[in-house]
Structure 1
Amino acid sequence: MEQHHSHNHHHEVTSLNTIFILCIVINLAFVIIEAGVGFIYNSLGLLSDAGHNLSDVFSLLLSLFAFRMSQYHGNQHFTYGYKKSTVLVSLVNAIILLIAVGAIVIESIYKFKQPETISGEAISWTAGIGILVNGVTAWLLMKNQKHDLNVRGAFLHMAMDTLVSVGVVISGIIIIYTGLTIIDTLISLVIAAIILLSTWKLLKESLFLSLDAVPENIDMQAIEQMISHAPGVESWHHLHIWAVSTTENAATVHIVIKDLSQMENIKWKLKESLHQQGIQHVTIECETLDSSCKEKSCC
């Protein structure tokens, strides 16, 4: 059984590693093309989208780095290994996106004051390629994004980028038929707003996890009720739950029991229940209730 699990884990690691590399290569190629067309045709919409896509490339690189670091085993200095790097990289990615938003807004204000002639055809065709590139990247990341904050962040960025590229195509079509080049600047501001909205949740969750907050996928109230109703448990205290990485959680708890002979059985059942709640590393400390005491405070 253990060999089968190890084989599956190795397959998942290799698969995700390949997916990250493939996503990085195709997105970097598109950034170069999009930025080149944006410079040639003076399109702020394309340049801002290229800048955002470049930040996505950096995000994918950082996510790949953190993903690989998380595979290293613990040592005497880092007993959990380097798994926490996935949380820190998620936070860095969110900050990078906020910086990109600021740059787009500043450039948009400048373009409002000094508008330039733009080719609607060039914008539409280039952004159309972006829909394909971002859509394929999001599809590649979709399978693995449910249980990993890093992958989920990358997936959401790519999904948002696909919608943004659709917006740029629409602006290009409008410019072709109306000549309203200011629409390009307006679209860039919409892009900034979309990036900000898609980044906020990632920023909040990664910041909270870096401060050892309870992960969002953990129902604290349900776990408290489960421990309270666990057979053999009289009471509990000192419950702490935190993220070891973007995919692994840990918990410690002190429980008070009557029958010391049932200690191992109670602990085993409690650990199994916590594992089902998404907590992989569990430490349980047992305390006994003095038979001469009637109050639980005598423990």
Structure 2
Amino acid sequence: MDHHHKQENHKGHSHSHTPKITSLNKAFIIGIVLNLGYVVFQVIIGININSLSLLSDAGHNFLDVAGLALAMLAFKLSSSKASEKYTYGYKKSSILISLLNSVILLISIGAIGYEAIFRFQNPQPIPGKIIAIVATVGILINGISAFMFFKDKEKDINVKSAFLHLASDALVSLGLVVGGILIHYTHLYWIDPLLSLIVCFVIIASTWSLLKDSLRLSLDGVPDTVDLNEIKMQILKIDGVKDFQHLHVWAISTTQNAMTGHLVVSANLSNIEIENIKNKIKHELEHLNIHHSTIETNFTIPENC
């Protein structure tokens, strides 16, 4: 059996399709500073008026500040250089941090839900007007912060995580505004925990997909932006390709994907012709969200994996 084997690492073309999000460092810093300042503001007011809702929301916001800091760390680590021990650098850490971020967000939601249930059983008189005013400030701060991440939220799972953190904070603040106004005029103190529970369900719905995505990527699952059938179909259209098997795709980071596969070609092709086929394949892979590829060439069809 005539067998030719060659591995080739794709280093990227000048027209790389890797999402570019190099300008987000300032957004992370501004988001962290604004939200940390708001947490301090909430704690001071919450203690002065003895408001458990403001204090619990301050705790939730503080967890989100920590989440933003982790996302910024992941953003920096994703651009790390390769070394002898870490041949892809620390790019994978961005996936692990996105998983941690989603877990933190769910934990914070659980804390809010627990507090809401407790307050259903033990409603306490609270100054609704002051709560509404403080929460309005929260809507502005979190809305501005979320807007800075909106356009890039589909390019990186950590950016999406940061956006969801801030958007969820804005929703919580909106719920507190509505609850504060209703409480001020009706004195129905059970309205506040009810709104908190509704907001929790809204946040869970948006966070669940983030948790699933980050968990799948951490287990080297196929990223959402990659279609294995489309990859194989486009490769098989290239002249000279007999088959393409043993196809595996995984995420190196939250913005870069890798692929390995067996290219099956005719035995009578020259090395130059094979290299030309590989170059065409790599060009197609650039358009299919594959940024690093290793291709093994065979002259006979390998057995199925």
Q: TM-score, normalised by structure 2?
A: 0.87
CA contact (8 A) 1:254 1:286 kept: yes
1:42-81 to structure 2, matched below 5 A, reads 42-81=50-89
Residue matched to 1:293? none
Residue matched to 1:211? 219
SS at match of 2:221: coil
Instruction: Supply the distance in 2 between the matched residues of 1:127 and 1:297 (Cα, whole angstroms).
Output: 63
SS at match of 1:279: coil
Residue matched to 2:256? 248
1:108-119 to structure 2, matched below 5 A, reads 108-119=116-127
Answer yes or no: is 1:273 the counterpart of 2:284: yes
Structure 1 runs, 4 residues or longer, greater than 4 Å off: none
Instruction: Supply the distance in 2 between the matched residues of 1:140 and 1:297 (Cα, whole angstroms).
Output: 49
Instruction: Supply the distance in 1 between the matched residues of 2:114 and 2:140 (Cα, whole angstroms).
Output: 28
Relative contact order higher in (CA < 8 Å, ≥ 6 apart): 2
Instruction: Supply the distance in 1 between the matched residues of 2:98 and 2:290 (Cα, whole angstroms).
Output: 20
Amino acid aligned to 2:277: I
Shift of 1:189: 1.5
SS at match of 2:24: helix
- In structure 2, do the counterparts of structure 1 residues 189 and 62 end up closer, same or farther at CA, with 3 Å as the change threshold? same
Instruction: Supply the distance in 2 between the matched residues of 1:42 and 1:226 (Cα, whole angstroms).
Output: 64
Cα deviation 1:137-189 (Å, max 9, x = unaligned)? 01111122221000011112222322322221111111111111111111222
Cα deviation 1:207-266 (Å, max 9, x = unaligned)? 000000000111222112112222211012110000000010000111101143210111
Residue matched to 1:263? 274
- In structure 2, do the counterparts of structure 1 residues 37 and 59 end up closer, same or farther at CA, with 3 Å as the change threshold? same
Residue matched to 2:104? 96
Instruction: Supply the distance in 2 between the matched residues of 1:67 and 1:297 (Cα, whole angstroms).
Output: 40
- In structure 2, do the counterparts of structure 1 residues 164 and 109 end up closer, same or farther at CA, with 3 Å as the change threshold? closer
Q: CA RMSD in A?
A: 2.0
Residue matched to 2:31? 23
Amino acid aligned to 2:203: I
Residue matched to 1:137? 145
SS at match of 1:260: coil
Aligned residue-pair number:
284
CA contact (8 A) 2:71 2:158 kept: yes
Amino acid aligned to 1:276: H
CA contact (8 A) 1:48 1:188 kept: no
Cα deviation 1:50-80 (Å, max 9, x = unaligned)? 2222121011100111111222211111100
Answer yes or no: is 1:229 the counterpart of 2:269: no
Shift of 1:297: 6.2
SS at match of 1:163: helix
SS at match of 2:260: strand
Q: TM-score, normalised by structure 1?
A: 0.89
Instruction: Supply the distance in 1 between the matched residues of 2:225 and 2:124 (Cα, whole angstroms).
Output: 48
Amino acid aligned to 1:140: M
SS at match of 1:214: coil
More divergent stretch after superposition (63-72 vs 17-26): 63-72
SS at match of 1:38: helix
Answer yes or no: is 1:160 the counterpart of 2:171: no
Cα deviation 1:241-299 (Å, max 9, x = unaligned)? 0000001000011110114321011100101101111110011111124xxxxxx469x
SS at match of 2:226: coil
CA contact (8 A) 2:242 2:264 kept: yes
1:40 to 32, 48, 57: 48
Instruction: Supply the distance in 2 between the matched residues of 1:35 and 1:274 (Cα, whole angstroms).
Output: 51
Amino acid aligned to 1:253: G
SS at match of 1:181: coil
Instruction: Supply the distance in 2 between the matched residues of 1:157 and 1:94 (Cα, whole angstroms).
Output: 9
**Identical-pair percentage:** 47
CA contact (8 A) 1:44 1:108 kept: no
CA contact (8 A) 1:80 1:244 kept: yes
Residue matched to 2:177? 169
Instruction: Supply the distance in 2 between the matched residues of 1:145 and 1:297 (Cα, whole angstroms).
Output: 40
- Structure 2: gaps (5+ residues): 1-13
